[in-house]
């Protein structure tokens, strides 16, 4: 069996931690490089005690160097902030290394839109045309041929997967789409801050980032491509007092007010019938975050409200696995010619 050497730049965040966990059980990929300026010189197993006795534990954390990465790795994951990844990706691609980028640096196709929402100029706009948006259900063929993958955001993953079938079957109007999304605290990252302290999050529920959450243009870009026209959404985010999970409730207007739940459910079933990680729930059932925890599944529930002529789509994922590291690993599998599910066939731990 082939061994694929991979590197991870940015080990200190939750996404890096989750990817390290997943790689430890991967059949083909071996973590050969782990980078963090702050933790340089330490054994990875000392920084991540859960790795004790597992593959990757003896890797010595280093400061990122593109030349060294090219000597050690076939592929590198960039789990670093927006604005940092683009320069690293450029250097790695020039050295012949494939890249899966967790940040937003290559998700938006228009550098002007990136500058508007992320308040910085894109320094490598020439790379944007070759970056593939890493949503396997929609772009697996393109991902497999690429060298640079823009790993989707967590909220956009839940929303795009939730709306795809409705747009594909022309079930809804593209106007007046309202997205109400709720995420666990890990979605805010691992950097200490007062709003994510235990006593601020526990036994509490609040909105944040309204009306300018940075995932808005990413969702609108992909939804517009699916719809074949420009679509604007109202995207509203909230913080849950949980560690993991995203639940997006998406309010849309039915194109045909007489549409029934049976018709809508059948359309969704047709769209996702061959997708291993999209689970369309039975009519009358609604998704819960605990049933997708730590997995690649996206559970979708449907409600047709005849009184308001709305289709309400509920879409839930694990923000760290499906919404970040697991999806990055699925993209890496495709880049390396492996089955997309390699190392990712897990169910949620309960309770």
Positions marked catalytic: 154
> What are the DSSP calls for 244-278, one per residue?
S-EEEEEEEEBSSTT--HHHHHHHHHHHHTT-TTE
Which one-letter DSSP state was computed for residue 316? E
In 103-204, the DSSP E strands lie at 131-133, 148-150, 177-183
The owner of tokens 């996702």 is 272
The distance between the two most distant Cα atoms of the chain, rounded to a whole number of Å, is: 64
The answer to whether the CB of 55 falls within 8 A of the CB of 30 is yes
d(CA 339, CA 277): 13
For residue 205, what are its two tokens?
């529920």
Cα torsion angle, 116, 117, 121, 126, sign: negative
Asked, as a colleague might, if the bond just before 236 is cis with ω within 30 of 0, I would say no
| Beta-strand relationship, 298-305 and 278-280 | parallel
Backbone angles phi, psi at 39, to 5 degrees: -110, 15
Sheet containing 131-133: give its strands across.
Answer: 29-35, 4-9, 75-78, 98-101, 148-150, 131-133
Closest CA to 300 of 186, 178, 184, 166: 166
The answer to whether the CB of 70 falls within 8 A of the CB of 307 is no
Which one-letter DSSP state was computed for residue 151? P
């Amino acid at each position: 069996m082939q061994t694929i050497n991979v590197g991870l730049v940015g080990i200190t965040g939750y996404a890096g931690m989750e990817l390290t966990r997943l790689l430890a059980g991967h059949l083909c990929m071996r973590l050969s490089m782990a980078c963090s300026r702050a933790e340089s010189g330490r054994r990875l197993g000392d920084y991540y005690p859960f790795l004790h006795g597992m593959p990757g534990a003896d890797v010595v954390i280093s400061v990122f160097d593109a030349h060294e990465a090219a000597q050690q790795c076939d592929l590198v994951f960039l789990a670093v902030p927006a604005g940092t990844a683009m320069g690293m990706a450029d250097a790695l691609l020039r050295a012949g290394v494939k890249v899966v980028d967790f940040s937003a640096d290559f998700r938006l196709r228009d550098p002007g839109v990136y500058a508007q929402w992320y308040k910085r100029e894109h320094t490598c706009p020439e790379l944007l045309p070759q970056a593939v948006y890493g949503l396997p259900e929609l772009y697996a063929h393109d991902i497999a041929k690429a060298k640079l993958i823009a790993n989707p955001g967590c909220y956009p993953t839940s929303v795009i997967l939730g709306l795809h079938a409705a747009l594909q079957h022309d079930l809804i109007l593209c106007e007046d789409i309202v997205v109400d999304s709720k995420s666990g605290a890990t979605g805010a990252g691992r950097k200490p801050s007062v709003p994510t302290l235990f006593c601020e999050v526990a036994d509490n529920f609040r909105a944040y980032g309204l009306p300018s959450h940075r995932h808005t243009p990413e969702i609108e870009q992909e939804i517009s491509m699916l719809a074949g026209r420009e679509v604007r959404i109202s995207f509203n985010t909230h913080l849950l007092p949980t560690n993991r999970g995203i639940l997006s409730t998406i309010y849309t207007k039915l194109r045909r007010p007489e549409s029934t739940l049976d018709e809508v459910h059948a359309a969704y079933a047709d769209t996702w019938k061959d997708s291993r990680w999209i689970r369309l729930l039975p009519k009358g059932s609604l998704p819960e975050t605990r049933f997708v925890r730590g997995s690649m599944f996206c559970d979708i529930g449907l409600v047709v409200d005849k009184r308001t002529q709305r289709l309400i789509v509920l879409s839930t994922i694990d923000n760290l696995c499906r919404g970040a590291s697991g999806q990055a690993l699925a993209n890496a599998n495709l880049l390396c010619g492996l089955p997309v599910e390699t190392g990712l066939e897990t169910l949620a731990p309960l309770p």
